[in-house]
Amino acid sequence: MGAVTLQDIRLTEYNLENLPLLKQLREGLFNEKPKVCIERARYYTEYLRDMSSDREPAEIRYANAANYFLSKKGPLFFDDNLLAGTTTSKPFGAPVYPEWTGMTIWPELDTISTREKNPLILSKKEAEELNFDIYPYWMERNILEYTRKKHNNPECMRIFERIVFFIASKAGCISHTVPYYRVALDKGVEYIIEQAASREIELRKDENLSEENRQKLEFYQAIQIAMQGVIAYAQNLGKKAAGLAAKEQDPFRKENFRKMAALCARVPAKPARTFREAINCIWIVQVAIHAENINMAMSPGRLDQILYEYYRKDIDKGVLTVKEAMELVGCLWLKLNDNANLVPETAEELFGGAGTVPAVTVGGVDENGEDAVNDLTYIMLRVTELLKTRDPSLNARYHYEKNAEEYRDRVAEVIVNTKAVPAIHNDVVDIKVLENQGTKLEHARDYAIIGCVELGVSGRSYDASSSIILNLVSGLELALNNGKRPVTGDEQVGPQTGDPSQFKSFVEFREAFENQLRWLMGKGIELNEYFGHTYQEILPSPVLSAFFEGPMEQGKDLISGGALYNSSGATHVGFADTVDSLNAIEKAIFIDKKCTFAELMKALEANFKDHEKLHAYFINKTPKYGTDDPIAVENSRSLIRFLYDFYQGHTNYRGGRYRPGYW
């Protein structure tokens, strides 16, 4: 929905000096130290251990757990933010999700507050509660151990646990997707409950329910239970705000609490009517989703599109100013920063310091293929430019035939001024990519960015991008060592693909490399499938499913294939390094005859000590990825074709195809 009415799209008259609330909130955020929050772990454990049974249907059991937590979750107000609700019980908190990888910090409960890199403050009392009360319950009930036991500690899991080959992210989360916030904004959560209830009533008319319809019945019951929890949390926020308003002496804070009490009585239960209601509705839904699923790459999507009608209506009525809209957007940006990842010390090298990557997407075209840039697009760019916060991860779509040059130039200016964001995405290419994957054109045009970064269809595709994070270089090392990897010992890890010194051509080596990758990728897919079936059996997602197109219509949880589109993503680390290594091997050994495989392996083992001349040759004389050198171009294209064909030949546990991506 494109409509630019701003006189100055750069909004230069606004800065943090004349937006004092945002300045104050930003300073408060930057002064906060992250703390471990055990609130969710406490209430989920309490309900599942003491108030339910493993014999209860998983869908209903976890809906009740979400309801129980949301009903008891503290309605907290830490500062003067205009939005109600917090992800955790701390101003800046790292929530513990014990059913996933939340237990990985168990060995460092006594040291996590003082560790050298990214310490997370944990009180002695809460550490003891985790140690003696919460973690023991989850020792054999977390996703990893349940799957290990069910499949007799399969080889794919043992490979995964060495870390150096691949990561199967479902051991740690259901995440990396863009929910359908429009249903909460336009219809309200009460509407979701009504839809589920009417479908339940229809199913109950059948006295001889099939197994499929019994599962649908349980799903619709679960949706109602979970959504009642969302409403309960909002109502508790409203009651708390009303109480604070009654006691508050400061006029600004008193009025803010009064307004929050009123809006929490309205949203997300009922449709939003104003811009402030709409933006608060999105935030409360985001909090509710994180009450169920881990705080990683749950991406709000195209906020300039889904919020625009509320903005435009309020502006036209004269009840909202551009400055007030900027304040509300800024408050949402800062709220999206109120939580941190719970990362064990052993994972700091890879994930330390990373944000939770809730990606916001602006610009591009609408579902009809027309320019979608509007006033909110520029407001969000300006707020990002001023706040310079880690999250949200801002992404700007650009269609060179539809979007104006001044929009492109403004995006570039913000990148320069923030030194980081937004990332720019080519609408023409991205829409075509999604079409080629079977996405309807109007849906493809409504794509949004997930995490850092993948393509998803807003609220319609459960992409599970980065389900597998695979180290391409490990496949290369396996090929160089006939299926062994020196850093993990002399054990035969991958298939025996031959002694490279006996290869007569580069094609033979590339075939060995592809065979190792084929084996490695197969293990990654095997484990992802195991984890997927585990979720279907014991850990569904009724809250997240409620905010998607498809699950309600099909009577299926997202994890069972309820979304309209159901791909799984495999992310490949070290693509450029791998291509450069292939280039170097082809050029040095098979073209220039600068060394043999035996000499190369000797140099690698010594880390090129006493082989400086060969090292200099590799650096200066071999083709590099990203250039027009024909060897580099062919090796990169060949690897992309191989990865694409392999993954597209595999169907996931939800009925969708695997799709490769690259880091």
Q: Domain boundaries in the chain? A: 35-142, 468-662
pLDDT digits (tens, 9 = 90+) for 217-245: 999 999 999 999 999 999 999 999 999 99
The angle subtended at Cα 494 by Cα 477 and Cα 626, nearest 5°, is 35
Q: What is the largest CA-CA distance in the chain?
A: 84
> How many angstroms separate the CA atoms of 543 and 559, rounded?
12
**Model pLDDT, residue 663:** 79
Residue whose tokens read 């994890």: 559
Read off the pLDDT of residues 432-469 as tens digits, 9 standing for 90 and up. 999 999 999 999 999 999 998 999 999 999 998 889 99
Mean of per-residue pLDDT scores for the chain: 97
Angle at alpha carbon of residue 90, lines to 87 and 95, rounded to 5°: 55
Q: Give me the residue label for tokens 């049974």.
A: 53
pLDDT beyond 60 at 1: no
pLDDT single digits (tens) 520-558 = 999 999 999 999 999 999 999 999 999 999 999 999 999
Instruction: Find, among 431, 476, 429, the residue nearest to 572 by Cα.
Output: 476
C-alpha distance from residue 444 to each of 216, 298, 359, 373, 461 (Å): 29, 19, 17, 17, 10
Contacts of 529 (CB under 8 A, 6+ apart): 652, 653
* Mean pLDDT to the nearest integer, 598-613: 97
Statement: the pTM of the whole predicted model exceeds 0.95: yes
368-395 pLDDT, tens digit per residue, is: 999 999 999 999 999 999 999 999 999 9
H or E segment and range at residue 396: strand 393-398
Per 3-state DSSP, the chain is made up of helix, strand and coil in percentages (nearest 5) of 55, 10, 35
Torsion of the alpha carbons at 309, 314, 320 and 324, rounded to the nearest 10: -20
C-alpha closest to that of 175 among 299, 39, 74:
299
Distance CA 236, CA 242 (A): 10
Distance CA 651, CA 642 (A): 17
The pLDDT value recorded for residue 510 is 98
Cβ contact 443:460 at 8 Å: yes
pLDDT of residue 301: 98
Cα–Cα distance, 565 to 553 (Å, whole number) = 13
Q: Is the pLDDT of residue 482 over 70?
A: yes
The backbone region for 124, taken as left when phi is positive above 0, alpha when psi lies in -120 to 50, beta otherwise, is alpha
How many CB atoms are closer than 10 A to CB 362? 27
Segment 289-340, tens digit of pLDDT: 999 999 999 999 999 999 999 999 999 999 999 999 999 999 999 999 999 9
Residue 491 has pLDDT above 60, yes or no: yes
Count the alpha carbons within 13 Å of 454 in the hemisphere toward its beta carbon.
32
Q: Which of 459, 310, 324 is nearest to 379 (CA)?
A: 324
